Amino acid sequence: MTWEEILPLLGPATLETAQMVGWSTLFTLLFGLPLGVALVVFDRDGLRPVPGLRAALGFVVNIGRSLPFIVLMIAIIPFTRLVVGTTIGTAAFVVPLTVGAVPFYARLVETALREVGTDVVQAAQAMGASRTTIVRKVLLPEALPGLVAGLTVTVVALIGYSAMAGTLGGGGLGDLAVRYGYQRFETLLMIVTVVLLIVIVQLLQSLGDLIARRLSHK
Amino acid sequence: MIQASGLRKQYGTTVALDGVDLHVREGEIFGVLGRSGAGKSTLLRCVNLLERPTAGTVTVAGQDLTALGSAELNRARQRIGMIHQHFALLSSRTVAGNVAFPLEVMGVPKAERERRVAELLELVGLGGRGKDRPHQLSGGQKQRVGIARALAGNPAVLLSDEATSALDPATTESILALLKRLNAELGLTILLITHEMNVVKSVCDSVAIMAGGRIEESGAIADLIRTPGSRLTREIFPLPAPAPAGSVTLTFTGDPRQPVVSEVLRKFDVDLSILGGSIEELPAGPVGRLRVTLDGADRPAALAYLRDSGLIVEEAA
């Protein structure tokens, strides 16, 4: 393949990857953040200990974390069909990507929130702050650099997952690599895809690091 | 102002507080002195119910905190300031933001909040530092922010949890001086816990000595000093314990310059030699303690004379 043939393929594939990763990042944040907060708040030494609920949430998160993404993707096909009405195409793969990334990010959120010192939480309690205020004005702001760093790791993982989604009809750069690089031995396209992925991941990681550093006042 | 009765706190089989009664009067600085593990931190945290006592009641400013529901308790806590050993400032906020936090919790409007924050920072000697981040401040300055934050709700009571233990001696002095000033100017009642006798000596009006989850001795320092055999007196003065057999320990609670010793030597047939002694400046006034041997025919009469002169005379067996 020549450059003239490769370039028109790269554009749409990159866009598809960006769409899959973008939307699933958004939904991961939407569900993963509250789940991570719940894991900390309902813990035995948390703000509102509900050990039974905490154990159940932990169990569900562990199930999500124990399935390899490619298995999870296939296993939840009925659920995907229920949510978006189809199981192929970029939109359909936002569902398994989100389901795969939510427990991952929730654990990172949990770790970041646990880094917040018990002394500041107790200081807020001593000031008469309610639990909601403590979560909103102490835990989340204090853990923000860690939450951003965790989200960066999650986005990079999602790019990896999205390549697997490509093999099952999700489109994107993974799909390109499989169809041209693997099935047609197009070495140049394979190299271009690899370089493009490396550049994207490096840029995202650097951006994430920069934001996390800016937010940190330690 | 603070009244704790029959406080017990148990963690599993460990007893952290074993029946503690505490009475802190309005406008005084009350120190709880003890080694680590004595239960003083648990006691302090029981006063604002950060720890819920297993048994007993806590009354602050006439309100029984142990009887309150969580919303009412939060409202009561807004009137109890607290400062912490490691400052417990929010690194995500500026100095002004930290001081504003309790005001936000109380629902004070923004303009009012800003006015009050500026006023509080001025009060603790940090005027103009509002935009700084906590990590840019020294330990002493951080504790000043902690104090400004604790005072935001115009509390009647300030709880201090080893507030000077992470600071060097000079900074400790300046923070203690600030607490003393706030106590005098605002009539703030302060309950502090510490393991440093120096803190008790320099600011406290009253003290409780804790060990093993119990209060061993408590009361106004001026009274305890006048009580023969008090733990406080023994701990304040660096005389070796136990006193050697036959020695006499004299405590001067009035003007330590009164020349009673030379009077005794002139009036009675006794020999006196000094084993050790020192004078301490306490908020209640200077107090001296002298350990001597006193031998001779007139020893009983000499000791009686010393007692009559207002000294506390303790004879070692």
Confidence of residue A166 (pLDDT cuts 50, 70, 90): confident
Nearest to B205 by CA among B230, B236, B234, B183: B183
User: So what's the pLDDT on residue B309?
Assistant: 87
Positions in chain B short of pLDDT 50: none
CA distance A43 to chain B (A): 17
A128/B73 touch (CB, cutoff 8 Å), yes or no: yes
Helix (H) or strand (E) holding B81: strand B80-83
Cα(A176)–Cα(A199) distance, rounded to whole angstroms?
Answer: 17
Q: Which of B58, B70, B90, B132 to mutate to test the interface with A (most CBs of A within 10 A)?
A: B90
User: Given the structure tokens 């509390």, which residue do they identify?
Assistant: B155
Nearest-by-CA chain A residue for B107? A129
Domain boundaries defined on chain A: 3-215
DSSP string, chain A: --HHHHHHHHHHHHHHHHHHHHHHHHHHHHHHHHHHHHHHHTSTTSSS--HHHHHHHHHHHHHHHHS-HHHHHHHTHHHHHHHHS-SSSHHHHHHHHHHHHHHHHHHHHHHHHHTS-HHHHHHHHHTT--HHHHIIIIIHHHHHHHHHHHHHHHHHHHHHHHHHHIIIII-SHHHHIIIIIITS--HHHHHHHHHHHHHHHHHHHHHHHHHHHHH---
Torsion angle in degrees (nearest 10) through CA of A202, A206, A208, A209: 130
According to the model, what pLDDT value does residue A2 have? 86
Residue B256: predicted pLDDT: 67
Residues B128-163 have pLDDT tens digits of 899 999 999 999 999 999 999 999 999 999 999 999
Residue A113 and residue A143 in contact, taking contact as beta carbons nearer than 8 Å: yes
The answer to whether B76 and B82 have CB atoms below 8 angstroms apart is no
Going by their DSSP bridges, the two strands B214-220 and B206-211 should be labelled as antiparallel
Angle among Cα B107, B110, B116 to the nearest 5 degrees reads: 90
Give residue A218's pLDDT band: very low, low, confident or very high (50, 70, 90).
Answer: confident
Lowest-confidence region among A82-96, A126-140, B76-90, B278-292: B278-292
Local structure of residue B35 (DSSP, 8 states): -
Q: Which chain A residues are Cβ-neighbours of B78 within 8 angstroms?
A: 127-128
Superfamily covering domain B2-222: P-loop containing nucleotide triphosphate hydrolases (3.40.50.300)
pLDDT of B252: 86
Can you tell me the distance from the alpha carbon of A162 to that of A96, in angstroms, rounded to the nearest whole number?
10
**Token digits for B187?**
């009539």
In Å, how far is A122's CA from the nearest CA of chain B? 7
Dihedrals phi, psi of B222, to nearest 5 degrees: -60, -40
For chain B, where do the domains classified as CATH 3.30.70.260 start and end? 237-315
* Domain B237-315: top CATH class: alpha beta
Sign, Cα dihedral of A124, A127, A131, A137: negative
Residues of chain B neighbouring A125 (CB-CB closer than 8 A): 50, 77
Chain B residues with CB inside 8 Å of A137's CB? 101, 104
Over residues A52-61, the mean pLDDT reads 96
CB A213 within 8 A of CB A149: no
Residue B237 has a pLDDT of: 84
Three-state SS for B56? Answer: strand
pLDDT band at A5; cut points 50, 70, 90: confident
Instruction: Give yes or no for a contact between B9 and B54, defined as CB atoms under 8 angstroms apart.
Output: yes
Question: CB distance B48–A126 less than 8 Å?
Answer: yes
State the pTM of this model: 0.88
Give the model's pLDDT for residue A15. Answer: 93
Q: Specify the fold of A3-215.
A: MetI-like fold (1.10.3720)
> Using beta carbons and an 8 Å cutoff, which residues of B are at the interface with A?
48, 50, 71, 73-78, 80, 82, 84, 86, 88-93, 101-102, 104-106, 133-135, 149, 153, 159
At residue B95, the pLDDT reads 96
Nearest chain B residue (CA) to A48: B70
Nearest to B188 by CA among B209, B198, B203: B203
In this structure, which amino acid lies at residue A160?
A: G
* Residue from A9, A172, A33 nearest A93 by CA: A172
B82 to chain A, minimum CA–CA distance in Å? 7
All CATH 3.40.50.300 domain ranges of chain B, comma separated, are 2-222
Give the residues across from B280 on adjacent strands.
B287
Q: Which residue of B has its CA nearest to A134?
A: B105
Q: Chain A partners of B82 at a C-beta cutoff of 8 Å?
A: 123, 126-127
Backbone angles phi, psi at A60, to 5 degrees: -60, -45
Residue recorded with tokens 């699933």: A24
Task: Point out the residue among B78, B86, B92 whose CB comes nearest to the CB of A142.
Answer: B92
Interface A–B counts its CB contacts (< 8 A) at 68
Average pLDDT over residues A2-25: 92
Q: Can you tell me the distance from the alpha carbon of B247 to that of B276, in angstroms, rounded to the nearest whole number? A: 11
Name B18's bridge partners. Answer: B8
A174 vs A154: CA distance, rounded Å: 18
What contacts A7, CB < 8 A, 6 or more positions away?
none
